[in-house]
Structure formats: structure tokens, C-alpha cells
Structure 1
């Protein structure tokens, strides 16, 4: 973590050399129904590891090219020392020890966050020819200089990430006491003199708040808070009102707040400060004093605020739980700001942090704005989807009914995009809610009408909502099911219409439609119809489905079997039935696939784990080291990257994303391109030897009986996001979590030797290595 002079927080992670925390958890906690997958922005603006420019001569470790990507970003700091040239202030410095360099970036405000641009074209701030140079930490010292910690080692790789035969060649502790600290200054700069601030007078500490160096300012403010000397109040008041230094004015205001001497008049004045970041801080200061009428009025009067970052803070502050500003007063301002920044996701999220009780108002305002809804954009669709999801997660039937009526009335083709977004959001919200089986009441006839009469895309979104709710039996449902049953089995009907009709049968999967749906899982049926039927079946819990599906298991095509397997894996009794079928020889063990087999072999349920061990050919039983040694020939070959691309597409793209291929479940492959070929081979064949932090597999048991496995992609105060293969994400509200625990394994399965030959492995590794350029 590092902070700029205004207190903005920045972090770093492996291949992402700079991140900004945009929305703090305390704002997200205001709305327990809002599922958010992340609260940070990658400030580099890149989707994967940024390109770097090392100058290392005779590289001794992982990289074998002078051009690579960030793989070990760490030790980041924001320079705030005040003695380097002005254009250094607020710049970021990020270490890349594997490639022997430090990146300097210029950080500028952009929207609700920031954007970082490299300070130099095709070169780095600091790069060494010495391959032992390992910068791992930077900071601004009290004298204003930059301090750099150099680990100075032959290798920075942890032994557990290096294959055994390479470990024998590397002396990890060789000359391990050669680390050093560098002090970096500028030829024309004069260091700040050494001072003992503990001996400074209160007046001197206050004066220090105007110091150009952040260490002096922060230490002086800390000491003022420690001393609690009331003699500081008057000079602080004078500084807050009269100082020409905007940073000092903010320090003075927060110091007065810490001493209990900050009055509302000072905050009101600061809301008009010429410096945008000072205004943003003033908005934050007002939070603990709302709903003070004068402050609330002043905040609401900032409708003409020009700074995007101040606007974002206004929305978050007015949305904060306990702020106490009436919705009728705060909503118009938030709505105006969001409309101005519709394509910035952080403004959309910020606005909805305060919509726990006002999602209906947001929905009505958005859909009622004909000019806004006249054309589609990703931002508009996302905001409407998130808004509707809050209604669904809260299970506010009255508000849901109004929303559905709005969707029902909008029948023009150009309105389909937002009708789909609204229905998708309602369905996602209902699915995330802690209690299941939502009875739609007055919303049901509206939803049925949409199902029966809307265009295919809208009807499909309505169907997915209906699957997640609990429809009450009645003549209207009977008529719909009867009509769709006829269409589903009509071999002369359009295949897309048949598939859509099969999906509707899922509304009665637990009330008698199961047998009809299973009949559609026949080789004579089109693949689209079979898939739709299986998706409909997967919405049910009828125990009679289990034997029917196991009976047809062998004839299910792979895409349909994958859906069926997911359904079995979500329930304890179904898992045991599946394993018993394997044990009885009714289905083949291989058809479960390595991912499911690995989860079952390590399952926390003792009975499931025991039965899996009895009937599955354990991948753990194989000698992984021997498999690795058998494939070492692949690293000695010069593989073909073009052929390797196709191997990646076939075997790896479900869990890794490269260019326009695949899904981001596992680590970013751009961050591993500079590893030894032997290391990459071990990563592929022995994935559980060293599971990278943040990529271990978790299991979440929900209160409604689901068992969800995948990578823990994001946690917020209100929800967790579990990411699975093919990019599928499950946002689970914390209120719906019964248990959550790590399975202590990688989501990457073992057993790729059954799918990839030695030659194909050489091609795959060549493709991964080629991603650097």
C-alpha cells in the first residue's frame, strides 16, 4: 500500500504494477444487496502484464529475453518527498525484481480514479545490467530522497516454484548477505535536514503541515494528535483559513477534526476550495456530521461541480448508510452525476451503494427517461441490470411487479435491449438472495405474459427469472406449459423455437414435466433442444430426475453432459448417486472429467471423499514426478507456437484468457512467460505442487443447499464472487452463505498427460513463451 499526498490509496499485484482502491468497503457495506466483483481499478489501463524494457546482460534467472512483461511487481510507492523535480511529485515507482528494474509512472486523475502512464518511452526509470539486482521495496525518506531496497540475490524464485532438477542446480542461499539499500536523489536537489520532531514545539509542528515533504507533514500531524495540545487550535484555524498551500489546508482541517475543534463553517468553506482534492476531502469530512441541514444543503448545491473525482465522492457520501439525507433531495444530484458518467462503472457502483431502499426509484427513473433509453450502451445496460438485481435480491415483490409491468408495456424492438437487462438483473438478484422459492404473487401474471408474447431474447431472460422464482400453479401456467410442450416436440417447428419451448417446461420440472424434458435428451433431438432441456432440468430438485439422468448418461453429448454434471455436483445426495453409478459400472469414471474428480477426491464431506476414493482412478495416485520426467523432452524441443495456439484453445482456454481466446479463471499467462520452460512444464503437470496465492479453489455451501466450487475472485462486505471455468461467476450474498472454506488445491486439474502429447506440450510451451512479444 502507498498513499499520495491527498490520501488516495494505491496497491500492486504481481503482473499489475499499479492499482487504485476506488470505493472503500464502508461505502459498499451500505447496500447488502449490491454484488460487486472488485473495488479497485488497474491504473495502468492494461488488461494483462505491462511490457517492460530490461537491460540485463547475460540474464541468469527466469527470463531469457530482454523484452518481457511484469511478473513480480512489488515494492510500489508514490513519491511525496518534495525535493525531486516537480514532475516527480505523485509519480509511482514499482519494482520488478525478476527483470532487474524499477518502473516510474506519471499518475493522473481520470474519471472516478486515475490513469498511470510510463514516464519514458521504451525504457525504464532504473534498470541494471547486473542480473543479481533485485529491487523489492521503494519509499520516500524523511530527507525527501527515494530509498530502494535491493535483495541482491542470484534468484528471487521461491524453491517451491522451481522444478526439482533445477533446484539442484540453484544455490538459493548463495551469498545471501549482499543485500543493500540505495538512496536516490537529483543533482539539483537539496535534502531536508535531519530533525527531531519529538522536541519540536506545538507551533513548529503546526507550521510543518506546510512542509513540502510528506514525512514531515504526517509525523507532525501524528504528534499533534498524540499531544492533544489545545494551543494548536488557533494556529490550525488560521492555517485552514489563510494558507496558500492547499495540502496544508487539508492537514489543518483534519487535525482540527482530530482535536474536536472542527466546526461546520470550516467544512462549508472548504467545499468551495479552488483545489478539487481539497473539496473532495471536505465532502468526506461532512460525512460524520450529516444530516446537518447546512452541510446537507451545501453538498446538494454542488450540482455544477466540474471535478469527476469530487463528483464520485459526493455520490458515495450521500449514499452512505446513516448519512440521513432524504432521498428526494439526494437522488436528483446522484442521478445527474451518473448520467454524466454513465460509461464509468465506478460511478454506477457508487450510486447504487445507497440504493438498498431506493432501487425502485432508480429503475423507474432510468426506464422513464426516453432519451436515455433511446440507444443502448454497455453502461446503461449494466446500471439497469444492477438496479434490478437489487430489487430481486431484496425480494421486494411490489417493486418487482412495477418493474415487470414496465418491461411488459415496452414492446418496441428498439426497447428489447433494456428489457433484457432488467429481466436479467431481476433473475440474478433472486438467485443471489438468501431465501429461495420466492412467490411472485401479483408479479406472476405479468411475467407469464412476457414469457408468452415477448421476442425470443426478452422471453429467454424472463424464463431465467421464472426458473429462479416459485410460480404458483394455476390455469395460466397450465396453458403456457401445454402450448410449449407441443412446440418442444414438434419436429417441424423451428429449432430455436423448440429450444425456447423446452426451457419453459423447466417451470414445471418438479411438478411433472421432468419426464417430458428427459425425453428430449435423445440422440434424435437437435443439440440445441437437448441443451435447452438439460438447462431446464438443472433448475429442478425432483429426486426422480437422478435415476432418469444416470440412465441416459452415456448417450448425452459432451456439452449436455457438462450441464448435467454441474447439476449433480451441486447436491450431496446427487453426488453420492453419481459415485455409486460409477462404482456399479453404469457410467464411466472418465466422463466426470479431472476437475470434478479432483474436487470429489478432496471433498470435505467424509462419505463423499471415501466413496470417491473407492470408485475413481485417483489422479493423486499417479506418480506426478515420473510424469514430469517423462515430459522433460518437451522442454528440449523447439515447439511450434502456431500449433501451440491450437493446443491452448482446445485444452486451456476454459480457464485462461489470451488475446481473444478463453476465460480468466487461472493466473494471467502473460505474467509467467519469462519462466523457465521446466517451470512451465511443472506448472502444467504438477499444478498442486505450488498453488499461487489467490488461485486456490474454494467451496461455498449456501443456505438453499447449493455447493459451489471455484476461485474466490472477490470479497466485499455484502457478497463473495466465485469464478468457475468458462468465465462463469456466481455472486453469493453473504447472508446466503452457510459455510465457505478453501479446498487447498489448484482449480487446474492434474492429468494433462492424458490429453497432450510430448510434442504438443512443446508446442504449448512455445506458444506461452511467445506471448511476451
Structure 2
């Protein structure tokens, strides 16, 4: 296991090169590094591998240098179909007892049937916090034998069982508090008795108050929980530096190249869902970002904190902030992050950027050859080296595990540096100080805890660190403790506020906010600080602040906004929460009306959340001297303004002739459409001007998505005949299906039937096609009526019979008709044909059994090893993709947008995992692509993927790429489908060679280097 590798951007050239190995040899631990490219400044060695451990999801390193591992052998067995260990998963302790850099001792700290694929571990001496949704447990070793003999439930009720988007690891902050997070499946946190917990401000932690993935802080007794950030998708692990700044990664909806790294601005909204409606990123909106990775996070919306960095496709996992000095300088004080999707461990060197930051990428390890390399976590050891956990699997989670018996731990160090764990007498002042300054978090915790217990006796030594240490991060650690243990913490804060380093001033201010000192003089001092990042912190602190000078402070900060710094603007927006009316009016009075002509002033008007800003917002939105594309942001801002009456009045005023006369003809039309798009629908009836504008706009936009959106919004049944015409003209695409869905919702059944009985086959067939896939009771009843009407031409009836099975409810109805022998013999083949591409294999098989030639011939596949050895043609595989997969998947612009996009799937999945995903689709359901059954009040059932959901509306994406708008008031229930929406048995529709060709094509779809 003492293998090392220092290759950089070149592959080993010896006879042991990874390419020359057999598939079996590639998986052996002794070859673990041959397929991995390592940064030329670093050395990587294998610390541990199977059979000692398997499937490591998360690790921590204690103050003794031992690696603690969460294993996940029992990962998602109901979906993967894999075997399980009835005794449960394990928490392992791995130790290098002889200092050779290789683990030689393994101890099972805890194992239980209840432990199933835990995702987080934090070690603090004899206690360990383990995160495994829906639980957080505290495990304690009471007698020092490295075995847990006490288990307590700290939290529960967090997401579903074994959900990857649930609770992640806890970490210890420099302020002596715990930081943790959960992804967008977390939902709530309850105590051990099931009571929903409230945050520090008394708000229940549930989806009604907070959106999607959340970041938390609490005391070490788990009290006084604060929500520090929200609206992430799957924010995997928060990392906190010595100043108290938070960093983390977040995963996109698979296939959209939107993986991101975030600086977690306190109390920020991070834009996964629409802040007001909770609609998904795919929902149409004004001022839509130009590219999908940006659209994904609503980055053009006021109130969304910018992303630090977007890294493309991936499956981001663990992160630390490296504050050691044992690695080369490029890695000092930077985030180190694992991303299992593109098989990479990266650093993100950060620089200041206005009130925020910008970052670049420096790779540490990259599995360029070995796509089984799946780094799942990284930790800093007490000697300053890194330990990297490798899940080692052909797939990358997401309900998938292709290999249960492998897993690795790598050590990353400067070349030639042996693994030597420093030892300190933690019970002495000197030893505790050394521990506090160590780069390992568990060691730091031990030092912090003991120094805190020493109280004032520790103050002189901590003062010495603060005064004399040249490393500002170590100064910050000492400062945090001084403000916690000294009665006179005010003097340390005041001194630190005079420091030349803005990060020390930030630390001092953050520490002040956690004490009971009067903040007003501190804020007074910092509102004009020369560093924009310090001013950012002050702005955030004004959130819900009720001091006498609050509005004056905010105005002073706002007057310094330059119109270029989005970080600063969002900090101002966060700071105005709870006080928008007062802050805005004070600022406007100070800035003067001419501020509307400055970019800085326009920013603040755009970001404001008060009816007091409506006059200025309306001026900007209606200013004909501003290009219409530049005015879109102001129209979008109306959606976020809470004053419905004032914004409706302002929008209606834009429709007056005097205003429209200022516009060019084209801008006039766009302006009218924008007003109608953003006007709350109840205000239409009271305005003849708006009604006329709507009629004209519907005429101008007929045949477009804009037309359908306006009809849907204002529920205009006078458009029913034109909806029918549009359904016929656009019968083979999403617009046609949307049109006929709207028509049915608006009582249009009779005009549809009239058309179907018209004898005009050029219109009948398109009408039937548009009805296919709608799936509500009314549409199926119409199709059945045509199917069973013996007076109609047989070809029309066959087309109707085939269309019945185009939806989830329709598939079930076809089976009912077949079982009850209701279908005329001459229509059976058509009905069966209509469900031949159903995603439920049992539907396809049972329906086919009603045909004379329905006997299913066995088509056994070769073994996986044989498939892996076969050569495929990517060119031929493209043809197979178009014939079999493009109905639900996209590569570039080819195919339908239903399942995950596959444009870079070759970078994410290994060859073996591609075969597994096709042959066993239930083994790898991508998050965000789970299927749902929606039962409607009319008795129908719809099946698909939820692309957007608000309190009142759901957009349901149907197989084939079309989308159906559903009112939640029309639903009776909604249930997630356990199986994949991708049909099983897909491989049976092609030859073995076609399957191999398809995988060859998919493997060619890789991220551009």
C-alpha cells in the first residue's frame, strides 16, 4: 500500500501504465494511483484500501491523526438492488501506528443495523456526531476503548431515509459554535421527541419559512440554532475559516453544467428556486439569464447572492479550508474540495473582489484515466497533510453503487514528507495553545475547549498570539477565544477594530455581534471603513436592527455603493430586511431624486423591497431612453415588490397613450406585453385599458409561448377556438399540448369533440395527437368516445385507440380495456402500440400479451466483463441514441428535455456505470429527476417529473419532453415513484452490438478540457 505518484499532466510510461492493465488489474489497490494525475508540487500515497474499508462517504481526522470513516455498504438497497449487511454499516478508525504513512490498525467504533450509509462525521475527542438523515446522533465512548457505548438522538425528522440531499457533516467554527447544513430534501429539523425546532428568532425550521438547502449555526449544546443561508440544492458540506467566513459547494440539477462554489454570505438567498413563487429555474421569467448554468441559480433576480465560481458538470462532495503550511504556498488558506463526478480534488485560490470574492481552480488529484476514482471527502491531518476519501465506484451516488467492496484513503503531502503526528500536552496552557494553532480541526477543538475552561488564566498567552503571530488567521483564532473567555472582551474587540488587516476587523465585528456589547458605536466606526468587505459585514448586521441610527447607517453604506459590486448590493439588501420602508426613504432623501440617473442608484431601486420604491422603479421601467433589454431587470423587480396595489397602479399607468407614444412601435408592443406579464391578474378586470391591451397582445402573440402564458394567467375562455387551432397546428410539440390542456381547463371539451366529428381528417389526426399525453379523465374520455364510435372511419378510431395510452392514466386505462375485453379486435393492436414505449415495463409486457405474436423471446446479454471487452462505434451509437434515447434525453440540442442531459455523461460515469444505468435504470435515479404520480380530483392520474412547483401551480414534465401545467387546487394527492422514469428493458429493444455502440457514444460525451 505504500504506492506514491507525482505525475502531472502526463501518464505513466512504464510497463505498468494504467492503459496496459486488464480491467481486473485496474481495480487492485496496488495500482490505485496509476490512473490518477497528481499536481506536480505534491506527492500522493495510499493510506488505506479494501478490504480494510469500503465505500467511504465522509471522513474526519482526530487530534491523534487517526482517520475516522463513515462506510456506506448498505447504500440504497431498495433502489440499487445490491446486497446488504444485516449488521449495518460501520464507523471505522484507521491508524498508522509505525509512522510509515500506511494504516496498519483498524477499529470498529460503531456498527448497527440502524446505521445505513451515514453522510457526515465530526470527531471531538471521545464523542462523535454522525449525520444520517433523518437523524443526527451523538455517539460517546465513555470508557476509552474506542468503542461507542452510548448513542443519543440530537435531531431527527430531516429529509427521507438515506437521502443524499439531507443532513451533512458538522464542523467546529472558530467562534466555538457548530456549523452544519442540509440539502433540499432536508425540509425540517425536529428534536428527539419530534417537535419542530425554532431558530434563534422564533421561526420554525420548515419549508414554510425557509427554502430548499440550508446552512446552520448552533451552540455546541445544539441550542440557539440560526439559519445562515438558504435556497441551495444540495449544499454538501460547509467549511468555515478562522475569520468565520463560510464556504461550500452546491450541486445542480444533473446535466446542466451548473455546479457551483459559494461564499455563504450570512442570511443570503442563493437562488435555486424563485424566491417568491418557489418556481423552478426552468420556468419562464423576465430578464432570463443567457445561459442555462446561470439560469439555474436565478442570478439575474434581485435578492440572489452571486456564485463565487461555477465549475460545470459534477457531483460535488466534501470541502475544507486548508490553513496549514505543510503544502506548497498556492494551497495555503484555500478551499480544498472533492468532486466525485469529474473525478477530481481541487483547490480554489480566492482573491478579494469588491465586497465579495473571485476564485480560480488548481487541481490536486484528477482521475483522468481511472474514472472509478470518486473522491467523496477531504480532511486536514495534524501534520498539515491531507487525507482524501475515495468511494471508488463506476458510478457516483445518486441512488447508484456499482461496486460494494472497494474504497480508498489517499494521503496528499509535499514530496518526501512522512506522516508525523505532533503530540501536545493538551492539559497545559502551552499545549492547548499549540493545539489551537494546528491546521487539524479536531486538534483545534481540543485546544479551544481547554483554553476556554482555563478562562482568564489563558488570556495572556492568547494576547501574545494575537499581538505577535504574523499569521492573521492564527491571530483571528486567538481573538475569538479572547472575546469568549474574558469579561472585558470589549477591549480586545476595540483593539482588533484598529488592525490594518480587514479580515481581523471583520473577525472583531463578528465577535462583537456574538457578545452583549453595544453595537452602535462599533457600527458608527465601520460604516465608512475603507475595505468594502468590512462594510459588507456591517450592512448584513443591520438586518432587523432597531437602533436609533439604523436608517442613517444603512444610508451611509448605500451612498458608497458604486453600481458595479453585486456582492455589496446583496449585502445592502440583506441588511434592509425588516426595515425597507425606513431605510429606502432615508436613503432617497439623502441621495436626492437625481440618484435615479446613476448606476448605483438604479441598483438600489432594483434591489428594494418596498412600495416606497415603486415610483422610481416605474420611471426606470418606462423610460424610453433606456434600451428595452436593459429595462427588463426593472420589470422583473416588480415581481419581488410586496406592494400589490401600488405596483399594479404603476404598471397600468404605463399603458396610457401618453406613455406608449414615447416608445417605438416594437418597444410599444414589448412594453405592453411586459406590463401584462407582471400585472397581478385581479387588477385586469378593473381596467378597460388593460383589457384592451390584453386583447391586442393576444392577437399579436398568437401562436407563441407568450400567448399561451397570457391565456393561462388571465384564464381567457374567449380564446378557446384559437387554442384549438393552435393545438392542431402545433400538435407534435409542447405548445400544442399546452394549448389543448388550457382549452380543456377552460371548458373546451365540446369544441374539441365538434372538431373530431368534423370528418376533416387533416384536422382530426392533429387534434388526436395533441390530446395524446394529456392524461386527465376528460382527455381520455374524449379519446375513448372516438375509439368506440363505430360510425367513424376505422383509421380515425385506430389513431384514437393508440393515443389513449400516451399518459400514465392512459396506460392503466388501456390495460383495463384489454382485461375487460372491451376493445374491438381490430383496435387491440393500435391500443397496444400506444403503450409500447411506456416507461413501466409491466405495462408494456402485459399489453403485448394480448397480441398473437406477443411471446417475448429471451435475449440474454453477455456478462459485464464481456460487454466491457467489446469494441463499439461512437458513430453508430449516435444513431442508436437518436432511435432509443433521444425521446427523453438531450445531447446538445439533439433530443428531448425530459431526463438528465447527457452532454457530458462520459466525464461523470465510467464505461461500466453506463451499462448499469441502461440495463438497471432504477439503480441510478438522478436527483431532480424522480418521478411523481399526481392524482387529480377528477380521478385521473398523471405521471412525470416536477420541473417547477409553487403553492398554486405545478409544471409536470412528461416523457417526450412536453410540459403540463397543473393547478394544485385540482390535485388530490402526489406521491414520488420509487422506480426510475427510464424504462426497464431498454436494452432488449436493441442488439448487443447496438448497446455497446450506444455506450461508446455516451463515453465520448466528455467535458471539454
Unaligned runs of 5+ in 2: 1-236, 282-295, 298-304, 423-432, 437-446, 730-735
The answer for the alignment partner of 1:441 in structure 2 is 685
The answer for the alignment partner of 1:765 in structure 2 is 999
The answer for the alignment partner of 1:137 in structure 2 is 377
1:550-586 deviation line (CA, Å, top 9, x unaligned) = 66999689999999878x65xx7x8876664455336
The answer for the alignment partner of 1:746 in structure 2 is 980
The answer to whether the 8 A contact 1:80-1:214 is kept is no
- Structure 2 counterparts to residues 76-475 of structure 1, below 5 A: 76-81=319-324, 87-95=330-338, 102-108=345-351, 115-119=358-362, 124-126=363-365, 136-140=376-380, 145-151=384-390, 161=400, 173=405, 179=409, 181-184=411-414, 193-194=434-435, 196-197=447-448, 198-199=450-451, 201-202=458-459, 204-205=461-462, 216=474, 220=478, 223=481, 227=485, 229-240=486-497, 242-290=498-546, 292-304=550-562, 307-318=565-576, 320-321=577-578, 325=582, 328=585, 354=609, 364-372=618-626, 374-376=627-629, 381=632, 384=635, 386-387=636-637, 403=651, 406=654, 410=660, 412-417=665-670, 419-420=672-673, 423=676, 440-442=684-686, 446-447=690-691, 449-452=693-696, 456-457=700-701, 460=704, 461-471=706-716
Worse overlay, 541-550 or 510-519? 541-550
The answer for the alignment partner of 2:761 in structure 1 is 523
The answer to whether the 8 A contact 2:768-2:800 is kept is yes
**Number of residue pairs matched by the alignment:** 681
Deviation at 1:246, TM superposition (A): 1.3
Deviation at 1:688, TM superposition (A): 0.9
- Structure 2 counterparts to residues 319-718 of structure 1, below 5 A: 320-321=577-578, 325=582, 328=585, 354=609, 364-372=618-626, 374-376=627-629, 381=632, 384=635, 386-387=636-637, 403=651, 406=654, 410=660, 412-417=665-670, 419-420=672-673, 423=676, 440-442=684-686, 446-447=690-691, 449-452=693-696, 456-457=700-701, 460=704, 461-471=706-716, 477=718, 509-510=747-748, 512-518=750-756, 523-525=761-763, 530=767, 545=782, 547-548=784-785, 580-581=816-817, 583=819, 584-585=822-823, 588-592=831-835, 594-595=837-838, 597=840, 628-629=861-862, 635-662=868-895, 663=897, 665-666=899-900, 668=902, 670-673=904-907, 675-699=909-933, 709-711=943-945
The answer to whether the 8 A contact 2:342-2:908 is kept is no
Change in 2 beyond 3 A, CA 1:592/1:446: farther
Deviation at 1:683, TM superposition (A): 0.8
The answer to whether the 8 A contact 1:698-1:740 is kept is yes
1:82-136 deviation line (CA, Å, top 9, x unaligned) = 67666544533333679876333334467997654333xxxx4346999798754
Deviation at 1:643, TM superposition (A): 2.7
Take 1:500 and 1:740, find their aligned partners in 2: how far apart are those partners?
21
Take 1:501 and 1:129, find their aligned partners in 2: how far apart are those partners?
48
Change in 2 beyond 3 A, CA 1:129/1:728: closer
Q: Structure 1 or 2: larger strand share?
A: 2
The answer for the alignment partner of 1:64 in structure 2 is none
Change in 2 beyond 3 A, CA 1:323/1:260: farther
1:500-530 deviation line (CA, Å, top 9, x unaligned) = 9999977853485343454589531398x74
1:406-438 deviation line (CA, Å, top 9, x unaligned) = 468658224444544555566xx87xxxxxxx7
Take 1:549 and 1:731, find their aligned partners in 2: how far apart are those partners?
25
Give the match's secondary structure for 2:582.
coil
Q: TM-score, normalised by structure 1?
A: 0.67
The answer to whether the 8 A contact 2:355-2:533 is kept is no
The answer to whether the 8 A contact 2:932-2:944 is kept is yes
Give the match's secondary structure for 1:688.
helix
Take 1:556 and 1:407, find their aligned partners in 2: how far apart are those partners?
48
Worse overlay, 357-366 or 269-278? 357-366
Query: Could you say what the CA RMSD is over the residues aligned between the two structures, in angstroms?
Result: 6.0
Take 2:340 and 2:528, find their aligned partners in 1: how far apart are those partners?
45
The answer to whether the 8 A contact 1:102-1:126 is kept is yes
Deviation at 1:153, TM superposition (A): 7.0
1:22-79 deviation line (CA, Å, top 9, x unaligned) = 6777647996436353558775545435xxxxxxxxxxxxxxxxxxxxxx65333333
The answer to whether the 8 A contact 1:22-1:112 is kept is no
The answer for the alignment partner of 1:48 in structure 2 is 313
The answer to whether the 8 A contact 1:267-1:282 is kept is yes
Q: TM-score, normalised by structure 2?
A: 0.54
The answer to whether the 8 A contact 1:712-1:723 is kept is yes
The answer to whether the 8 A contact 1:504-1:536 is kept is no
The answer for the alignment partner of 1:68 in structure 2 is none
Deviation at 1:352, TM superposition (A): 6.5
The answer for the alignment partner of 1:20 in structure 2 is 262
Change in 2 beyond 3 A, CA 1:258/1:502: closer
The answer for the alignment partner of 2:208 in structure 1 is none
Worse overlay, 557-566 or 282-291? 557-566
The answer to whether the 8 A contact 1:205-1:224 is kept is yes
1:481-512 deviation line (CA, Å, top 9, x unaligned) = 78x69999999xxxxxx999999977853485
Take 1:150 and 1:94, find their aligned partners in 2: how far apart are those partners?
11
1:187-238 deviation line (CA, Å, top 9, x unaligned) = 9xxx9944544336245546656866687467546645654x4221122122
Deviation at 1:368, TM superposition (A): 0.8
The answer to whether the 8 A contact 1:75-1:94 is kept is yes
Deviation at 1:713, TM superposition (A): 6.3
Take 2:969 and 2:490, find their aligned partners in 1: how far apart are those partners?
46
1:734-773 deviation line (CA, Å, top 9, x unaligned) = 9999755431222222232464343332322111111236
Change in 2 beyond 3 A, CA 1:360/1:515: farther
The answer to whether the 8 A contact 1:703-1:736 is kept is yes
Q: Structure 1 or 2: larger helix share?
A: 1
Take 2:857 and 2:535, find their aligned partners in 1: how far apart are those partners?
60
Q: Is residue 247 of structure 2 the alignment partner of residue 9 of structure 1?
A: yes
1:247-276 deviation line (CA, Å, top 9, x unaligned) = 111111121221111422312332322222
Give the match's secondary structure for 2:982.
coil
Give the match's secondary structure for 2:500.
coil
Take 1:33 and 1:331, find their aligned partners in 2: how far apart are those partners?
29
Take 1:465 and 1:679, find their aligned partners in 2: how far apart are those partners?
44
Unaligned runs of 5+ in 1: 50-71, 431-437, 492-497, 602-611
Change in 2 beyond 3 A, CA 1:233/1:395: closer
Take 1:112 and 1:326, find their aligned partners in 2: how far apart are those partners?
20
Take 1:714 and 1:664, find their aligned partners in 2: how far apart are those partners?
13
